[in-house]
Amino acid sequence: MSTQFFSKLSQNYIELLKDDEYYDTTIEVGEDPNVKIFHAHMNILYYRSPYLRRILASEKKNNGLIYIKLPNILPEIFQIILEYIYGGILSLDGHDAPDFLKILATADMLHLQELVNYLQKYLIENKSEWLEQHFGLTHQISLQSNNLLELQEFCTNLMAQFPDKIFKSFDFISLPEKSLISLIKRDDLQMKEIEVWEHVLKWGLAQNPTLISGPNTWSDDDFRTMENTLQHCLPLVEWMEQNFGLVCQTSFKSNSLLELQQFCLDSMTKSPQKIFRSLDFTSFSEKPLVLLIKRDDLQMKEVEIWEHVLKWGLAQNPTLFLDPVTWTDEDFKMMKNTLRSCLPLVRFFSLSSVEFAQKVLGEDPNVKIFRAHTNILCYRSPYLRRVLVAEKKHNGLVHIKLQNISPEIFQIILEYIYGDPNAWSDDDFKTMENTLQHCLLLVRFFSLSSEEFSQKVHPYKKLLKHQFYEELLNSYLDPNREPIDNILLPRNMTVDNIIDSRIVNLNIVSIISRWIDRTELNYKFSHLRELYFPYQFKLLLRGSRDGFTPKKFHELCGGIHNTVTFIKLKDSEEIIGGYSPIKWETPRNWGATKDSFIFSFKNKDNFKDTVISNVKDLDYAIWFHSLSGPYFGKDINIHASNEFTDYDTICCKKFHYDKKIRDSGEKFYRRL
């Protein structure tokens, strides 16, 4: 039998800590004017803290005492840590979340892993709202150590979900490469890929201040520089929250703060718009940009991701002009090098037509509000430098007025200040290419719409590998082109109230919607484009709920136009179905239409072998009968012996539609 008496043991050790008679170690903690001397015992410190063990082992006793200094720790925080070391007690009464983060950082510094694990879990479970509001600080601390994996994951998730929020509140160009890569890798990053791309470019340019913003003036060396800078990144977005900058910058400075890095990435993924609009994301380092853009759950349109990646890359190369038409080969090489890690992560095939966010606000037609960056304005214009130095920040922003300049003229001047890629030299492109070398592969360029590709990607084509660019270009031009392997799918954007289905996911709904609207020249690329939701799908009939009889089908679906039928085959992951633009009727008759189609998916997550079959014999597109369910030509047949019994004839074969959607034409069982 073994009995533990830890309570009394803890009490005695706390008493020992308070007793000044038997100490052999003096610890000076803090910096002037906040300095405090603590008395402790070498043997206890030695066994409780690996960090203090190394310090104590290197110090010699003087008059029987060892004297050490810990200037980077606040005395009030060290008092809490010391009580934990001696008594295993963590007293947080009277302390708030900022103190918890300081305690966590100190515990990590002293290698108190038990305390580190507890505080990470406590903060995430109980103080998540505060962590999100002060994302900069949180992210910074999370990246200080590889031991803070839970906090890093929290940050990563937040960045993926709210990238816009993070990037617009956070100077992302200072983000370390590791954070950038972690975020840009995520499929759940909630940001348009075009924004990821622009943010990655902005970051790449910021890492290469000699580059002009416009890649057209870049040299090959410039592109290599940019590609190298962004080689892991392109998937990031703008700023997270008001304090997200500090979090991200610090969290990725150390390989020990993996949990805090993950926290930052998660945060940006969840709210990309919130992050990018509140964050100067161009200060991100490459790593977090790449990590964010890789995520499938990044909640942002691919076109926005692409724009943010470009913006980041340009910020890493401030010598580049904004307009890539002016870039030289060297400029493109610089940008390509900056974004080399990000470009593969941008899901260009997912991009769709979108209106880009307006950058000019104001009701007076002669007054416009421009958003800019103090670091760029200061270095590009001595006049603006003097104005900005004289102004104070309000809520993190500097507001200046230039009443004697027309908005149209200032727009031209601002574009010159930021740079134009059309003016990039080959060296500029090489620099940018080197800067973005780890990011370029993470931007999902295939997600982009043809308009987004033409306007936002084509000017930077020198940043992309020639073969990849040709594949991307052909996806928009060639109706018979087959997608290449290993193309990143669109990000898993969170969209509510689109469909209530147990059979299909939002990817399939997006593909079907594109087919209905005929948005794609080549339907084989539909699954690679950014998710497309022009419609809300209202559930009319669910077989498991309403039954599988003709009576119920005509009761719930009769007289309704524009319906989509999804059928999941029993004991299989295969899904088949069809779209009917005309209303379902009961009298025995053929329905004519040129717009119906049938389809098949091998499963809801694999779209490469998807088949769409358009109606061939227009007068025999739909069959109506009181004993039939959804009946597409003679290609999908669903029939019953009477209207009150379950369907007993269910088969699929090629007849009135132009393609066979199943290898087998035999009867099958279904789940509507």
Identity at 108, one-letter amino acid code: D
Query: How many whole angstroms from its chain centre is CA 614?
Result: 36
Q: Is there a contact between 334 and 222 (Cβ–Cβ < 8 Å)?
A: yes
Q: What is the pLDDT of residue 540?
A: 95
Amino acid in the structure at residue 34: N
CA distance 269 to 292: 7
Condensed to tens digits (0 to 9), the pLDDT of residues 224-235 reads 666 666 655 533
- pLDDT value for 202: 79
Q: In sequence order, which residues have a C-beta less than 8 Å from that of residue 79 and are 6 or more positions away? A: 36, 38
pLDDT under 50: residue ranges of the chain: 234-243, 278, 352-364, 669-672
* pLDDT at residue 374, rounded to an integer: 77
How, if at all, do strands 649-652 and 636-639 pair?
antiparallel
Every domain range in the chain assigned CATH 3.30.710.10: 6-102
327 CB contacts (<8 Å, ≥6 apart)?
214, 215, 216, 217, 218, 320, 321, 335, 421, 422, 423, 424, 425, 428, 429, 459, 460, 462
Q: 3-state class of 664 per DSSP?
A: coil
Q: How many other C-beta atoms are found inside a 10 Å radius of the C-beta of residue 223?
A: 45
Radius of gyration of the chain (CA): 30
Q: Are 443 and 435 in contact (CB under 8 A)?
A: no
Q: What per-residue confidence (pLDDT) applies to 357? A: 30
DSSP-based three-state secondary structure for 233: coil
Question: DSSP alpha helices (H): ranges in 362-434?
Answer: 374-380, 382-390, 407-418, 428-434
As a whole number of angstroms, the longest Cα–Cα distance in the chain is 107
Q: How would DSSP label each residue in 416-428?
A: HHH-BGGG--TTH
Pick from 148, 309, 151, 137: nearest CA to 240: 137
* Unique residue bearing structure tokens 């004017």: 33
**53-60, Cβ contacts within 8 angstroms, sequence gap of 24 or more:** 56/25
Ramachandran bin of 223, using left for φ above 0, alpha for ψ from -120 to 50, beta for the remaining angles: alpha
Helix (H) or strand (E) segment spanning residue 244:
helix 244-251
Segment (H or E) for 607: none
Place of tokens 């969840």: 270
Distance CA 30, CA 6 (A): 32
Q: Are strands 25-31 and 66-70 parallel, antiparallel or unpaired?
A: parallel
In 3-state terms, what secondary structure has residue 662? coil
Q: State the pTM of this model.
A: 0.50
Which pLDDT score, from 0 to 100, does residue 361 have?
Answer: 25
Here the tokens at position 396 are 């993190």
Taking the C-alpha atoms of residue 151 and residue 99, their distance in angstroms, rounded to an integer, is: 16
Class of domain 6-102: alpha beta
Cα 174 to the chain's mean position, in Å?
A: 17
Type of residue at 635: D
Q: Please state the φ and ψ torsions of residue 606, each to the nearest 5 degrees.
A: -120, 115
530: CB partners within 8 A, 6+ apart: 192, 193, 301, 302, 303, 347, 350, 351, 352, 447, 448, 449, 490
User: Measured between alpha carbons, how far is 583 from 553 in angstroms, rounded to an integer?
Assistant: 13
pLDDT at 232: 55
CA distance 433 to 342: 10
